[in-house]
A and B are shown apart, each in its own frame.
Chain A
Amino acid sequence: MTGYRLSHGGGRIDRGQSIDFSFNGKRYAGLAGDTLASALLANGVQLVGRSFKLHRPRGIVGAGCEETNALVQLEHGISSIPNVQATMIALEEGLVARSINAWPSLTWDIAGVNDRLRGLFSAGFYYKTFMWPDWHWFEWLIRRAAGLGKVPVVPDPQRYEARHVECDLLVIGGGRRGLAAAAQAARDGKSVLLVDLDQGLPSLEGVRTFEKTAALGIWDHGFVLAASEGRVIHRIRAEQIILATGKQERGIAFANNDLPGIMLAGAIGRYVADYAVAPGRSGIFFVNNDLGWRSAIEAAQCGVGVRAIVDARPQVLPELAHRARAHGIDLFFSSLVRSAHGRGRVTGVTIEKPDGLSRLACDFVGVSGGWNPASQLWTMAGGQTKFNERSQSFQPDGLVANVEWAGPEPIEAEPIWTVHGGDEKTMFVDFQTDVTVADIKLAARENYRSVEHLKRYTVLGMGVDQGKLSSVPGAMILAETIGAEPGTLSASKVRPPFVPTAFGLIGADLRGERFRPRRYLPAHEWHVREGAVFEDFGWERPAAYPVGGEDIQAAAEREAAAVRSGVGLFDGSPLGKILVAGPEAAAFLDRVYVGTPSTLKPGRIRYGLVLNENGTILDDGVYARLQDGSFLLSPSSAFADRMVRLLEDLLQCEWPMDVVVQDVTEQYAVWTVAGPNARNVLEALQPSFVLSSERFPHLSVREGQLDGSEVRIQRVSFSGELSYEIQVPAGQAVQMGDALMAAGKPYGLVPYGIEALEILRIEKGYIHVGTDTDSETQPGDIGFGGAIAKKQSDFLGRRALTRRSSLSPNRKQLVGLTSLCGGILPVGGHVRAPSGQSGGFVTSSQFSPVLGRGVALGLVEQGQRRLGEIVEIVSLGKRWQARISETVAYDREGGRLDT
């Protein structure tokens, strides 16, 4: 217990307002204005976490978004947020936080044994150590011991919000330069937005200011995401961006530099000035630049015990030396801190002076190894950097469209990255990921030459702080090790988000039901009333209508049997409905379909295939010729949207013809009446046209009235039964459904769902593209070779069908598969080839109630030439015997279509 609250000072705290909070199960009190980190320090809590790999004890290092050790799990009842930086949490009454990564406990830590085994945990240790005999033997242990925070077990209850903002100028960073730029632009009449991580910014006239807001990244054309208090995400579009993001301090790698109590010098300065918190009673500052001195002097001025300043440089400004001496601080020039001592916290350091080593006791250490420009957003925007020798830092350089760097002047610093002579395995470069100087040198010996490879091999900079402290030192140490010129290796590429960000915030309101809005059928309420069980097929569609405790399968078999023996009613509304009209409509469609729509007579319908330019089947479906220059296409439900886009693409880009395309899919509901009694049901509703097969044959279309409503009826069938697809305006869907149910009552009409339709279409060998075909299936493979041979002209995919691979006799072809034991073949089961390898697979399989056995389809090599052959089907260690058969298992002659 070394940190404490000073008796006076502290620009941000309100001493009159005490705030209770809990950390690792213990209760503490802080003050209004504290961060969790400052309150912990004020309470003397030094050990705040354990490192990722070695589980070494760690304390608070920084005061802002650079913090790498003090990651906590913020708990709100059963829900919690992992990996939050304690330095970025404003203290609130009742706040509950826990250290992450301290299983089984923070103080008695079994994984601390890792520290003694650290030889095993060198660079690339995952790849080297745990591969033999099997990574999975170790995985659970590693994941448990090496994980960061815990994934919450309940959905995130936080409500996130997304807002869109536009501005002429976005200023990121509310320091002196940022404020000046914002004020000037506002005076020039621009709309200005200023964002800053901090709060308490002065209000500027004409400037919108978002406080406690982190810019997460910069994307193309002035697009910026910014997070306010982790709850609101701003999607900002700025004509111009000024980056006034300031600078960030870095450390120096010496032995045991990760002991709790060793902090950034500037962070100590902030804790003292802003929160009146002293990290200890006797401190040593190890610096290579003037700002490190100022932090030490400021701490001493506020009453903190500063014992010594150790500067790597031979001298300093007389003014600084004078002021330091006035506070009784011992000064050591041309000197280094070689190592720190202590168990669990720092209790002393060994100093390397020109005249030898000496040891000093202390209870905190402030380190300042120089300053980097906070250039993360600059490089995310595509900006380059250039090594600046004087400051030993990579400064933004060159130009980025619409982005301006307004960072501070570089701070002069001595080049000192590591202090030689100590144990390099305890000289930490990245605290959070436990990467040491020894790891970087090992990687260099193994010939890693690029910082990007170094990053992935050692995990340097891969923690939640994204290497804010470690990236530049890591690159400099690698350069030094491989003998590269200083500055020729710059820090690894920084990626968004700039600060840890909850996934929920990025998605904001687009989650749960709003992630993808459901599409409901026009007659949804009708299906609810009929007892449908819905499934999401892109639309919420009835899977089946179970009665009397049936499961889905039993219901589907009953419904399918009813269609075969009587009549059924199916909602096919999602079926695509695309009007294609114009003088050249027929000629255009000849180029789209495998068949030849131009030869179709008005009033008739034909089945067709659409291919991509690879010759692969994209979709199948019927098209009707309504009039000479007007067609109605019925692509499958899942392809309807893509079909419209494909046709528009072709018309606008490839074949500019006198044709218009209109998607009317959602304007009409479709009721399919199917079964031997289908015609009787329609007859009962006073159709305005004759229904007989002579006057209204299979594959034709009629428009007229049914039950007083305007309808378009297509005689097509996906069940193999006499079938009418009745299109009515979507608003009349329920009314028509009711009318059909009433008219069907004498014939035992039942509603049937998708599952029954599956049974019916597999019995008939009707394919479902994407299920019974894959990305290689061509028309010839499903029995449409003849249609192509007859057609002379070009169409989508035709050229590809003449490639050698398309003509190969070994292609997989669609066949039926009949189980010899009567059971149901497994979808995805492989058809064993003579070689023992896979020679095809089962694509669809169902129990057929009308046949009393399983029916299946499959893609099998040379299948059409092997009808009658017995094959073995293998799936998950089980085997089935099956006969290759015709695709059509029921009513091969098709007589039932035309009763």
Chain B
Amino acid sequence: MMRIACPNCGLRDEREYAYGGEAHLDRPELDCDDQAWEEYLFLRANPKGEHAERWVHVHGCGVWFNLIRHTETHEVVAVYVMGVARP
């Protein structure tokens, strides 16, 4: 079980959070082609290494934020608020 630093609340146990999938996905416009929509819906990075992802402090303040996690060691490399570019 990881420990994650909520931007509002600080370091808390993973059980207070919920995972929200890969971060920085751009929702295509309505007139995009099928392939663009397929990529948005189904294709994910899945790296062995640093992964930018969304989390929500669901049993806490409720804020959504981004973090970068190393998928092999689970080291949390960075936490940053929603809307900010990947550091």
Question: A residues engaging B (CB < 8 A)?
Answer: 219-223, 237, 382, 401, 613-614, 645, 648-649, 652-654, 656, 794, 798-800, 803-804
Contact = CB atoms under 8 A, between A and B. Distances in A.
A613 B38 CA distance: 10
B20 A649 contact: yes
B37 A799 contact: yes
A652 B1 contact: no
A167 to B, nearest CB: 14
Contacts, number: 53
Contact of A653 (B3, B34, B54): B54
Interface string B27-44: 111101010010011000
Contact of A803 (B18, B28, B34): B34
B64 A649 contact: yes
A799 B64 contact: no
Contact of B2 (A220, A653, A794, A798): A220
A762 B82 CA distance: 44
Contacts of A223: 1-3
5 contacts: A221-B3, A613-B41, A649-B56, A653-B54, A803-B34
A614 B41 contact: yes
B83 interface: yes
A803 B74 CA distance: 37
Contact of B30 (A219, A401, A798): A798
B73 A401 contact: yes
Given A401-B75, A645-B56, A799 B30 contact: yes
Interface of B: 1-3, 13-14, 18, 20, 27-30, 32, 34, 37, 40-41, 54, 56, 58, 62-64, 72-75, 82-83
A803 B40 CA distance: 14
The 4 closest A-B pairs by CB, nearest first: A652-B64, A220-B2, A220-B74, A221-B3
Contacts of B14: 220
Contact of B1 (A221, A648, A804): A221
Contacts of A220: 1-3, 14, 74
A648 B75 contact: no
A237 B3 contact: yes
A655 to B, nearest CB: 9
Contact of A221 (B2, B18, B29, B30): B2
A799 B40 CA distance: 11
Given A221-B2, A401-B73, A613-B41, A653 B82 contact: yes
A656 B30 contact: no
A154 B34 CA distance: 57
B30 A654 contact: no
A401 B30 CA distance: 46
Nearest to A804: B34
A652 B63 contact: yes
Nearest to B58: A645
B41 A652 contact: no
A223 B29 CA distance: 44
Given A219-B1, A222-B3, A652-B63, 10 more contacts: A220-B3, A221-B3, A382-B73, A401-B73, A645-B56, A652-B82, A653-B20, A799-B28, A800-B37, A803-B34
Nearest to A793: B30
Nearest to A644: B62
B73 A654 contact: no
Nearest to A654: B27
A219 B13 CA distance: 12
Most buried by B among A221, A222, A382, A804: A221
B58 to A, nearest CB: 7
Contacts of A653: 20, 54, 64, 82
Contacts of B20: 649, 653
A653 B64 CA distance: 7
A648 B62 contact: yes
B38 to A, nearest CB: 9
A83 to B, nearest CB: 27
Contacts of A382: 72-73
Nearest to A648: B62
A223 B34 CA distance: 44
A614 B37 CA distance: 10
Most buried by B among A220, A237, A645, A800: A220
A206 B86 CA distance: 44
B77 to A, nearest CB: 12
A219 B3 CA distance: 11
Contacts of B58: 645
A220 B76 CA distance: 10
Contacts of A401: 73, 75
B44 to A, nearest CB: 14
A580 to B, nearest CB: 15
Contacts of B62: 648
A229 B28 CA distance: 57
A222 B37 CA distance: 40
B73 A794 contact: no
B30 to A, nearest CB: 5
Nearest to B40: A613
Contacts of B32: 799
Nearest to A656: B83
Contacts of B40: 613
B36 to A, nearest CB: 9
Most buried by B among A614, A652, A804: A652
A794 B30 contact: yes
A255 to B, nearest CB: 44
A719 to B, nearest CB: 35
Nearest to B38: A803
Nearest to B36: A799
Nearest to B41: A613
A656 B18 CA distance: 20
Contacts of B82: 652-653
B29 to A, nearest CB: 8
Nearest to B32: A799
A648 B64 contact: yes
Contacts of A613: 40-41
Contacts of B28: 799
Contacts of A645: 18, 56, 58
Contacts of B54: 653
Nearest to A798: B30
A266 to B, nearest CB: 35
Nearest to B18: A645
A493 to B, nearest CB: 14
A222 B74 CA distance: 11
Nearest to B81: A652
Contacts of B2: 220-221, 223
A614 B56 CA distance: 22
Contacts of A222: 3
Nearest to A614: B41
Contacts of B30: 794, 798-799
Nearest to B37: A799
A656 B75 CA distance: 29
Contacts of B56: 645, 648-649
B73 to A, nearest CB: 6
A302 B42 CA distance: 70
Contacts of A803: 34, 37
B40 to A, nearest CB: 8
A221 B73 CA distance: 9
Contacts of B3: 220-223, 237
Contacts of B64: 648-649, 652-653
A272 to B, nearest CB: 43
Nearest to A655: B27
Contacts of A652: 63-64, 82
A520 B75 CA distance: 41
Nearest to B31: A799
B78 to A, nearest CB: 15
Nearest to B2: A220
A645 B18 CA distance: 11
Contacts of B18: 645
A654 B82 CA distance: 10
A221 B63 contact: no
B72 to A, nearest CB: 8
A645 B55 CA distance: 12
